[in-house]
Amino acid sequence: MKIALLGCGVVGGGVLEICDSRDDLELKYVLVRREKKELGDRAVFDITTILNDKEIDTVVEVMGGLSPAFEYVSAAMKAGKNVVTANKHLVAHHYCELLELAKENGVAFRCTPAVGGGIPWLYNLERVMRLDKVLSFSGIMNGTTNFILDAMHTEGSDFAEVLALAQELGYAEADPSADIDGLDIQRKCIITANVAFGACLLEEEVPVFGIRHILACDIAAAVSMNRICKMLAFGKLNNGSPAVYVEPSFVRCGELEAAVSTNRNVISFDTELTGKESFYGQGAGRYPTAYNAVADCLDIKNGVKSFYTDIMNPVKPDNSAEKHPYYVRFKGSDEWLDSVSIEKCGEGVVTADVSVAQMHAWAAKAKEADPALFFAGVI
């Protein structure tokens, strides 16, 4: 199999190393923006070189971002080339367009490294769906936020302090917004929900609340309830309609997610026949992510010629049926919050069971009065 690589950063460099160590994969081209002498003749600066080469079977996109990644991937599919991508933003944002393009052009489209890094999450989700029905999924899908929350619990670290450490270690970007505001997790959650439930969700329809404003007092509140704060993604079928959302959650000590430390991930699904299955491992990083990109190439080489599902129903998530208590820290008074609060908890309150839809809608408006607002589901 002859491969072209789009981008040669952290993950791309890992793909290059793994491919060069094998006899059954030849990485013929690497599309780069500026000269890299170590790539020699493999470095190209124009996508048309790749598109016009009939020897190229599969294009691996690890550039990130929406443009020009979308234009390049679309052109590759139209040129009859299979596509593998680690770009969760691209897949979540252009999900239906990319699936339709792949189907129209008879090429394979795979994105296993886009969700879970080195965890073969989408691969196993596809496998279980051959015989079973996925009822729900949940999990830790972002190593940066898990690293931050774990350090705040175990080391008593301040949020800003541990975020700076995460950036120093390469777990967080210089602009950490996608991680701490939950957008990275939201995109992975959307891809998972689309595959698991045969949906086609829009980013703006899936509510997300991050940990940007979490304080030590919030961690203390979780501990007072014998819980650990984790950033979780959720998806569940309720009478055929999917509930899909992302939020901080106070998880009971002793539960699987509560024990996941540092920058690791754990994702679980629950099905009609097999019940709960969980997948644990490195959720990001050079080699874990590159490993799944190359594994996708090998699957294509061995005959995989499709996506994980061919069902795309344009449904809207309905989070009104999902209810649980919430911990809320809000400065000031609010009539609705007062009406659902049942007890004080440190510097916040704990509510009675409130629907996910209600809480996220309230918080979106309440942030205007208190930009430092923080909430977490108590599960």
Which DSSP letter does residue 333 get? Answer: -
Place of tokens 């007890």: 343
Catalytic residue among 88, 188, 230, 236: 188
Residue 323: which H helix or E strand, with range? strand 323-324
- Two tokens at 119? 């965890």
Q: 40: alpha, beta or left, given left = phi > 0 and alpha = psi -120 to 50?
A: left
DSSP string covering 155-205: T---HHHHHHHHHHTTSS-SS-HHHHTSHHHHHHHHHHHHHHHTB---GGG
- Two tokens at 35? 């000269």
- Residue 115 burial (CB < 10 Å; 0-12/13-18/19+)? buried
Cα(108)–Cα(57) distance, integer angstroms = 10
DSSP string covering 340-370: HEEEEETTEEEESSEEHHHHHHHHHHHTTT-
Q: Which residues of 332-354 are buried (b: 16+ CB within 10 A; e: fewer)?
A: eebeebeebbeeebbebbbbeeb
Residue 281: which H helix or E strand, with range? strand 275-282
Helix, strand, coil percent values for the chain (each to nearest 5): 40, 25, 35
Q: Which residues of 193-212 are buried (b: 16+ CB within 10 A; e: fewer)?
A: bbbbbbbbbeeeebbbbbbb
SS3 20: helix
- Whether 188 is catalytic: yes
Query: φ and ψ at 59, to 5 degrees?
Result: -110, 130
Tell me which residues are annotated as active site.
188
